[in-house]
Amino acid sequence: MIALVDCNNFYVSCERLFHPAVLHRPVVVLSNNDGCVISRSEEAKALGIRMGAPAFFMEEMLERHQVAVFSSNYTLYGSLSQRVMQVLAGFVPEMEVYSIDEAFLDVAGHASPATLAAAIRAGVLHNVGIPVSVGVAPTKTLAKMANRAVKKSKLPEGFLVLDSPEKTTAVLAATQVEDIWGIGAQYAAMLHQKGFHTALDLSRVPDDFARRELTVQGLRLVHELRGIPSIGMEESAPAKKAVCVARSFGQLLTEKDDIREALANYAAVAAQKLRAQGSRASIIQVFVQTNNFRGQDAQYHRSVNLRLPVPASSTRELIRQALLALDRIFKPGYNYKKTGIVAMDLVPDSQVQENLFESTDHEKERKLMQALDGITRHFAGKPVLRFAVQGGNKKWALRQERLSPCYTTRLEEIIKAKAE
């Protein structure tokens, strides 16, 4: 049996953990630059607030209903996610961290999956303070479906175990094909067109149809719906095939130097991510764009790909190449809203083909990056050392007017209690 543990309204739950005054109020968390809603409490959902809704257009409604609004604090959320995963790891010998707020647990052989699910919920709530839902089933796909059923039906116990054909059939029949893990919009439209509307319908398709219309992955999915395990556990996340760091500016920028500074910082983040997974980029893509929603502004969108002389993960090299790319695509006279870098065609560190005409001392560069990463880790991930081109005026910095302190990672922001 497989259990999927999913934190309930995770970003909202993280904020409520340190703001008990909003426990029973509607709460929303906003995306970068305080733009759109990315997490909602149940009370906010009841008000009709949609995921992705722009906060700017809801200011009057948010104030009228006394909705608590927070800027996204990914440092805080990442720290609490690690704590949740540490608690979950204590329950089972094998688990797969699926996302910041989800994990699959192998509970095979446990005498009572329901008892374990209840213990998991109680353990995470007691040790971290985050509420979770648990779905248990013979396969990962069915566990996902069971977890969704817990939330949709608001089951008071907070978990569901698909341990009988009757329970499994009921959940399959209640799940539309577009709500199945792994089924995208195009496949869902095709299945509806062919008369397959629910997960139960899909579980009954012939294998040759699944292989022909949904590929081999689709066939595995159909087998999973039938209760046949076909998607294995991944104890370590696979290396990413590309790394993208792209963010909107906190204000519109017109000066090239400001955009250079922003891009240099994004390239530094991309380089650190590459080193963390032991990869190097053979190609980088750099882009700039204006704000599509400002009809009064002239619009400009441009990107360029550069193939690096030698695949790289060095912060210095990625910044240098990214700024060369920016020189090719920047045009004065526009109000720029966003820039970014995408590292592509990744290769493992151990499989890099050197360039005969390249003069860089790669061993020296590797040691420099090791020292840089070591210092960053020592300061809890804060980039205290930077290249000069990364600047310091931060006109491009994200707008975060409702940002909570980093209670769990910065000593100066830890909660202080007074003894009377």
Assign residue 71 the CATH number of its domain.
3.40.1170.60
339 in the same domain as 248? yes
Number of domains in the chain: 3
Query: Are both 344 and 284 inside the same structural domain?
Result: yes
| Residue 151 maps to a domain | yes
Same domain, 271 and 356: yes
Containing domain of residue 65, as a range? 7-76
Alpha-carbon distances of 123 from 22, 132, 189, 306, 418, rounded to whole Å: 23, 10, 41, 49, 28
- DSSP letter, residue 278: T
C-alpha 156/C-alpha 142 separation (Å) is: 20
Q: Find the CATH number of the domain harbouring 319.
A: 3.30.1490.100
What is the pLDDT, as a whole number, of residue 111?
87
179 and 251 in a single domain? The answer is no
Residue-wise DSSP of 364-382: HHHHHHHHHHHHHHHTTT-
237 pLDDT band, cuts 50/70/90, is low
CATH number of the domain where residue 129 is located: 1.10.150.20
- Tell me if 178 is assigned to some domain: yes
357 band by pLDDT with thresholds 50, 70 and 90: low
Residue 109 lies in a domain: yes
Whether 1 is in a domain gets the answer no
Question: Which tops the pLDDT comparison, 355 or 402?
Answer: 402
pLDDT of 400 reads 83
User: Are 41 and 167 in a shared domain?
Assistant: no
- Does residue 150 sit within a domain? yes
Residue 280 inside a domain? The answer is: yes
Dist CA 146 CA 63 (whole Å): 36
For residue 336, give the nearest of 377, 383, 287, 379 by alpha carbon: 287
Nearest to 405, CA basis, from 127, 22, 20, 70:
70
| Shared-domain flag, residues 66 and 98 | no
Q: pTM of this prediction?
A: 0.81
Q: Are residues 281 and 314 in the same domain?
A: yes
Q: Which residues pair with 2 in a beta bridge?
A: 106, 137
Distance, in Å, from the CA atom of 136 to the CA atom of 164, rounded to the nearest integer, reads 11
* 149 and 96 in a common domain: yes
What's 54's DSSP letter?
B
Q: Is residue 402 part of a domain?
A: no
Average pLDDT, the chain: 90
- Considering the domain architecture, whether residues 255 and 386 belong to the same structural domain is answered as yes
Q: Are 161 and 113 in contact, with CB atoms under 8 Å apart?
A: yes
Does residue 192 sit in the same domain as residue 159?
yes
Residue 146 located in a structural domain: yes
Looking at the structure, tell me whether residues 102 and 218 fall in a common domain.
yes
Residues 59, 112, single domain; the answer is no
Strand 2-7 relative to strand 132-137, pairing: antiparallel
- Beta carbons of 289 and 336 less than 8 angstroms apart: yes
